[in-house]
Amino acid sequence: MDFYYPNFTNDFWRICGLLFCGERDFFTVTGEKRFDKERIKAFCNEKGIAMYDTACAVRRLKGNASDKFLEVVEASDIPALLSRIPECRAVAATGQKAADVIADTFGCGNPGTGGECPLYAGGRELHFFRMPSTSRAYPLPLGKKAESYEKLFRSAGILP
């Protein structure tokens, strides 16, 4: 899937399915081990969820996906992006490297996993959340991860 969180073992779309639709497999293609990209995109458009990479150029220092061995060569222009989204109320990072880039870019605090702090961008205050990883390699049960994401989505005003 050419979109965010495509790996079927990643739980991001299961968390969204659970929180918004009451069904963890809502975004799964029935009978297949993949997510429904079109359903996901429609959901994101409907809810006003935007996703973007915090870096546009990176270098993997080892042959794995760990942020620990990731070097950000060029950070994305997140301030310019946020200037085009005046309705945005919250920014979330799902990994430590992304949280570091955001904190460095805005000169704000870097909340611990599951925490939040203020972020000022373009004359407005946003909530900056550091979310737990949705990778199954991250040792936290799905329900506990969902609790953190529920806080984010409620704060952003997209989950009643």
Helix (H) / strand (E) element for 92: namely strand 90-93
pLDDT at 1: 60
The dihedral sign for the CA sequence 152, 114, 95, 140: negative
First to last CA, the chain: 29
Q: In CATH, what class is 12-155?
A: alpha beta
Q: Where are the domains of the chain?
A: 12-155
**Which residues are paired to 75 by β-bridges?**
55
pLDDT at 67: 78
pLDDT at 115: 94
Q: What is the pTM of this model?
A: 0.91
Give the separation between CA 144 and CA 106, rounded to whole angstroms: 29
Better pLDDT: 62 or 25 = 25
Report residue 61 as tokens. Answer: 């220092």
* Confidence check: pLDDT of 64 > 90: no
- pLDDT tens, position by position, 27-56: 999 999 999 999 999 999 999 999 999 999
- The pLDDT of 118-139, averaged and rounded, is 93
Give the separation between CA 114 and CA 89, rounded to whole angstroms: 17
pLDDT at 131: 96
pLDDT at 117: 96
- The pLDDT of 134-150, averaged and rounded, is 93
The model's confidence at residue 63, banded by pLDDT at 50, 70 and 90, is confident
* Confidence check: pLDDT of 84 > 90: yes
Mean predicted lDDT score pLDDT of the chain: 93
* Burial classification of residue 98, based on how many CB atoms lie within 10 Å of its CB (0-12 exposed, 13-18 middle, 19 or more buried): buried
pLDDT at 54: 94
**Which residues are paired to 68 by β-bridges?**
none
Distance of CA 105 to the CA centre of its chain: 17
Please answer whether residues 40 and 84 qualify as being in contact, where contact means their C-beta atoms are separated by less than 8 angstroms. no
H helices within 32-141, ranges in order? 37-47, 78-83, 96-106
